[in-house]
Amino acid sequence: MTGVLASFRYLLLDLIGADDTPRPQVPAGLPPALHDLVADAIARLVAYQGPGYAVLYLQRLRRFSRRRDVGEAMCAEIARLMLVRMCYDDPIARAHRALCAAGADSAADTSVAVLLEDVVACLPAPLLTIPVVGVDWSQWCRASKPLRFRATRPWGRFGLRRLAGLRRWRLFSPRYARERAWVEHWLHMIDRGLTRQPAAVPEIVASATMIAGDGAGYRRGVADWCAIIDGLVRPAFDRKLALPDIAAAMGEARAASDSPGGVAAAVETIRKRAAPSA
């Protein structure tokens, strides 16, 4: 009977998005330079999504904190940038910040503008498969104007509370699925770089700064990052493209973000210039 009740309890926790994982502590054996950074990361991740999310962060960081070929400075940068990406800026986080700011200062005029497609991306993925006659979800969402909420007005506060309340469903959303896959992809490329071309690793680590925010800017950052990694770094690691200095090639491609053709055109230019690997 106890087992049945326990199973029902865990099922209920999953359905309502509750997280009863014990709050993790800073792991023993971390370099001193990382202690304060990781302690702050745990606090922020627990506030962002719960203790289980902080545990995931520590599991990911452990892949590098125990490696002899990863110095303290590099490990700290991985830890810092991974925290930024795991606390990604979605409508849920923005609504929560606006409510906190308004609560701290009743005179603050805190407003939030979000695109409907970004709100929909925070909903549980199965909801998006529900058919509605005459409605194309993707076109309907992208055609809409931004939704604006002001924390100093009753209806604005109501809308912001509803957005912030989506936190319990965040881990079931399409946006989280993309973010989870991206972080794992980034960590995997760092790991491969340590084996294939260690000099390129700092640039691979820093490439996480290409992605920020939400909306069109976020999607452009993801597309540019994928163009560089899939067009230059991965083929070089697979010895299908001769790039003796991957870091320089990445820097050149990133610098072209505001030029005609953007990063994708720069990647193609670099690929044509590089001799195919034997």
Question: How confident is the prediction along the chain (278 residues), in pLDDT tens digits per residue?
Answer: 444 344 334 334 444 456 678 889 999 888 888 999 999 999 999 999 999 999 999 999 999 998 899 999 999 999 999 999 999 999 999 999 888 887 756 555 578 888 888 888 888 877 656 555 455 555 556 656 788 888 888 888 899 999 999 999 999 998 999 999 999 999 999 999 999 999 999 999 999 999 998 878 888 999 999 999 999 999 999 999 999 999 999 999 999 888 888 999 999 999 998 866 55
Q: What residues does 36 pair with on adjacent strands?
A: none
Judgement on whether residues 53 and 140 belong to the same structural domain of the protein: no
Q: Distance (Å, rounded) from C-alpha 9 to C-alpha 6?
A: 5
Q: Given this model, what pLDDT does residue 42 score? A: 97
Residues 6 or more apart in contact with residue 39 via CB below 8 angstroms: 26
Amino acid 165: pLDDT: 92
One domain, residues 116 and 201? no
Same domain, yes or no: 66 and 156: no
| pLDDT score of 40 | 97
Task: Kindly state the tokens that stand for 229.
Answer: 């990694």
Q: Are residues 42 and 132 in the same domain?
A: no
Same domain membership, residue 185 and residue 139 = no
- pTM for the model: 0.85
Instruction: Tell whether 248 and 262 lie within a shared domain.
Output: yes
Task: Examine the fold and report which residue of 129, 154, 172 is the final residue of a domain before the chain moves on.
Answer: 172
What is the H or E stretch that residue 112 is in? strand 111-114
Same domain, 3 and 77: yes
Q: What is the pLDDT of residues 51-72, one digit of tens each?
A: 999 999 999 999 999 889 999 9
Task: Answer with the one of 131, 155, 172 that is the final residue of a domain.
Answer: 172
Residues 144 and 121 in one domain: yes
Q: Does residue 113 share a domain with residue 28?
A: no
pLDDT for the residue 71 = 92
Same domain, 1 and 95: no
Task: Examine the domain organization and report whether 196 and 257 are in the same domain.
Answer: yes
* Tally of domains within the chain: 3
> Token pair of 42, please?
């745990």
**What domain range includes position 212?**
177-278
Domain boundary among 108, 142, 172: 172
Name the one residue in this structure whose structure tokens are 């992605």.
Answer: 211
Same-domain status, 30 and 116: no
